[in-house]
Amino acid sequence: MEYLAVLLPSIGLGVLFWLIMRWILRADSRERRAQAAAEEDARTWYEGVRRREGEDAIFSSPREPDAEKPGNS
């Protein structure tokens, strides 16, 4: 019975450590799946906009102001 009293805290901590690590790894796996789904959704949205509005529709450089307009110096 003394052996059980000596080993029980270590076994309990080992089980607790295993449960916490399992929880962390499963959360990481779920986060990776959610991130991949979000990236795929963004990619689908971007491809749709490119097809609809052309290649230069998004992330193009801003147009430079016309030098002929009054007030531009």
Q: What is the pLDDT of residues 32-57, one digit of tens each?
A: 999 999 999 999 999 998 888 877 66
pTM reported for the whole predicted model: 0.56
User: Would you say residue 23 lies in a domain?
Assistant: yes
| pLDDT of 60 higher than 90 | no
Per the structure, the count of domains in the chain is 1
C-alpha distance from residue 7 to each of 2, 20, 32, 43, 59 (Å): 9, 20, 37, 54, 62
Residue range of the domain that includes 46: 1-51
In a domain, residue 68? The reply is no
What average pLDDT does the segment 50-68 reach?
A: 66
Average pLDDT over all residues of the chain = 85
Q: Is residue 71 part of a domain?
A: no
Report pLDDT for 71. Answer: 59
Q: How many whole angstroms separate alpha carbon 8 and alpha carbon 1?
A: 11
* 70 lies in some domain: no
The answer to the question of residue 2 being in a domain is yes
What is the dihedral sign for C-alpha 14, 20, 24, 26? positive
In a domain, 46, yes or no: yes
